[in-house]
Structure formats: C-alpha cells, structure tokens
Amino acid sequence: MSMIRDLRAAVRPALRRGHSVNEYDTTRDPSATSAVVDCGVYRDGRRVSDHVSPTEAMARVRADGGFAWIGLHEPTEREFSGIAQEFGLHPLAVEDAVHAHQRPKLERYDDTLFTVFKTIHYVEHAELTATSEIVETGEVMCFTGRDFIVTVRHGGQGSLRALRHRLQDDPDLLAKGPSAVLHAIADQVVDGYIAVADAVQDDIDEVEIDVFSATNGATKGGRASARGGDAGRIYQLKREVLEFKRAVSPLLRPMQLLSERPMRLVDPDIQKYFRDVADHLARVNEQVLSFDDLLNSILQANLAQATVSQNEDMRKITAWAAIIAVPTMICGVYGMNFDHMPELRWKYGYPAVLTLIAGICFTIHRGFKRNGWL
C-alpha cells in the first residue's frame, strides 16, 4: 500500500505539468482561467513566450516591452474578473463581453478601445426549405490597449487560431502592435461576410429560378408546392438576410472611424489598411440591402402567381358551372309535370332533348376552350 501511495504522489505532478496552455492554476494567479484559449507575448513581431498566464504575460511586457495577446472563449463573469482587473478594463465593456449579444460597435474607455464584431457562418444544406438555417452568428470582442489586446469569442464560429498563426508568419505586420491584430480580426470577419454573401446569392438565384420557371409546378410536384413552398422559402431567406444585415450594417460606422479618425491606439500605417476593410464592408452592405429588395420582389411575384393561379381555377369552375347549368335548366323545365308541355307526347321528344342538351353543352365548352377558360 505504501508503494501505491508513493506512485500516486509521483504521478500527480506529472499530470499537472501535462495541462494544456489554457489551464492555469487559478489559486496562484487570479487572472488565470480555463476560458483562456491562448496567451502570448510578442516583441518585434515575434512570439517570445508560451505557457504563461495573463498576469505573467503583462509582467514580461512591462519589463521588456512588446505586447500581450490573450484569447478567451465564452468566459464567465468570475473567470473574466481577474483579467479585467489586471488590464484595467472598464466594467461596462466587461459586462458586454461576458453577456454577449451585442450589436457591432466601437467604444473608447480611457486608454482602451472596445470593438464588437459579429461573425457570420454559412450553413451548408442539400436543399433549401422553409425551415432551413442559412447563417449562424457569433461574436468577437476586442479590448485593444497600448501594450495588449484581449479577444473574447462567443459561439462556435470565428476561431482566431489560424489568424494568430498567420500573423506570426508576418513579423513585419505584427511588429505594428495590437492595432495590427485588431485589423487582422476585422479583415477576417469582413472576408467571412463576403463568402457568406456569395453563398446567399446562390440560394436567392435558386429560389428566383424556381418561382419564375415555367415548369415550376411539375418540378415541385404540383401547384400546391409552388404556392406554399416557395413563399415559405422566400420568407425564411428574408429572415436570414435580416440576421446578416444586423451584423453588417452597424459595423460600417466603426470601420469608418478606424480608417478616418486618428487614434493614439491605432498605428498610422495600420489605419490605411482599415480603409480597405471599410471599402469591402460597404460593398457587402450594399449587396445585403439588394438581397432584401430582390427577395421582396420575388415574394410579390410569387404571390401574384398564386393569385393568377387562383383566378384560373375560378374561371374553370365558372365555365363548368355554365355548362352544367344548361341540362339542369332544361331538365328542370320538363320536370314540372304540366299537362300542356311542348312536344310532350312526341315520339322522338326524349332523344331530341338529349341531343339539344349535348349540342348546347358542346358549343359552350368549345367557346370556353377557345378563350382559354378550359
């Protein structure tokens, strides 16, 4: 038994040393939290430290220069409190970062910029239906200071891991400091908007073709699918485009500020790059607005087609009712059982009346057919 206890005592420290980079001893460091995805110190565009806590990262930055980049994923208020205290983050911005569901914005708190981005991910689907989810949204929030940047991510999309590695492969850009990271995040988010806009355009084109196709009823299994199915799909697309619009449109003003207004926390060389991001965002915003207008037109056309189809059905019903009215009227007259009826005792009266009914019905049917009612 004593040997087993000695073996366990020897194994425990090894297991602790095997913890991943985002698992810190919270009893030793109040800023350490399991929500930390990565934490690194960068100097002259190169990463100079790994496996450090946020407090240790800032201590090295203050001692030797450079900046710290701390990435978190869906931290709780308790998990974020130590980091907020270490970096002096404003309580209002901290509250927004923890609870998420914020609209895109740019706010300045003392010597810190707080930026909110909404990430958009296109959901692949084999067939667009009235219940298809087209886009998924997430959030990336950035606290940018003179010597640090803290990124908080919410949702399953918008990972910054690949972006971090890509920036580390470009030390000249990363040497510009935290504003270079902020630009890279903005650029990645807007590039995601462009990709999603192209995919949504394909869905809208598909719906447009189905609505205006002459074989729509055949391909969808009948007129009922054309009336209900297309309207449902169009309305679902409008809902998803509205969600897309909520992510894109509010971000226009923050990108304009970052690209046009001089800021102490944004390197002048990096500010030029924000202009390119703002231009791409403006084009995506115009495209999203055009999506909404186009879907409105398609929905109106679909409803007009449904109205026309209903009118055609009513004309057919009316035409058949007119045809059926002829034998009903004649048979009703001869069914009144009066003694003095025209040709009542005639030998050929019965076949003559049937021939008359058939002739009148045929004439009416041919007239309706020629006019397109049948």
pLDDT in tens, 254-289: 999 998 888 888 988 898 899 999 999 999 999 999
Identity of residue 12: R
Span 126-152, pLDDT tens digits: 787 778 788 889 999 999 999 999 999
Of the candidates 33, 67, 36, the one whose C-alpha atom is nearest the C-alpha of residue 49 is 67
| Count of beta carbons in the 10 Å neighbourhood of residue 71 | 22
* 369: three-class secondary structure by DSSP: helix
pLDDT value at residue 244: 93
Q: What is the mean pLDDT of residues 212-228?
A: 48
CA distance 221 to 224: 8
CA–CA distances in Å: residue 261 to residues 253, 254, 257, 283, 346: 11, 10, 5, 21, 104
Torsions phi, psi for 33 (to 5 deg): -160, 150
In whole angstroms, give the CA distance from residue 298 to residue 92: 43
* Alpha-carbon span 25 to 53, nearest angstrom: 9
Which tokens go with 133?
């989810």
- Give percent above pLDDT 70 in the chain: 83
pLDDT digits (tens, 9 = 90+) for 332-365: 777 766 666 666 667 777 777 788 888 888 888 8
Residue 213 has pLDDT above 80, yes or no: no
Cα–Cα nearest to 135, from 232, 240, 205, 235: 240
Task: Report the distance separating Cα 87 and Cα 341, nearest Å.
Answer: 108
**Which two tokens mark 47?**
């990463």
Amino acid (one-letter) located at 369: K
Domains (ranges, CATH) in the chain?
Answer: 311-370 (1.20.58.340)
Sole residue written with tokens 């509250």:
95
Question: Both tokens of residue 367?
Answer: 């007239």
pLDDT value at 208 more than 70:
yes
In the prediction, which pLDDT does 343 show?
A: 62
Classified as helix, coil or strand, 157 is: coil
Q: Are 40 and 47 in contact (CB under 8 A)?
A: yes
Of 308, 114, 301, which is closest to residue 209 (Cα–Cα)? 301
Please give the residue that has the higher pLDDT: either 3 or 310: 310
Q: Tell which residue, 100, 64, 65, has the closest CA to residue 80.
A: 100
Sheet holding 46-49: strands in order across? 46-49, 36-43, 67-73, 148-154, 135-144, 112-122, 105-109
Residue 157 has pLDDT above 90, yes or no: no
Residues 6+ apart with CB under 8 A from 70: 36, 38, 39, 54, 57, 83, 148, 149, 150, 151
Q: 65-74, 212-221, 316-325 — which is least confidently predicted?
A: 212-221
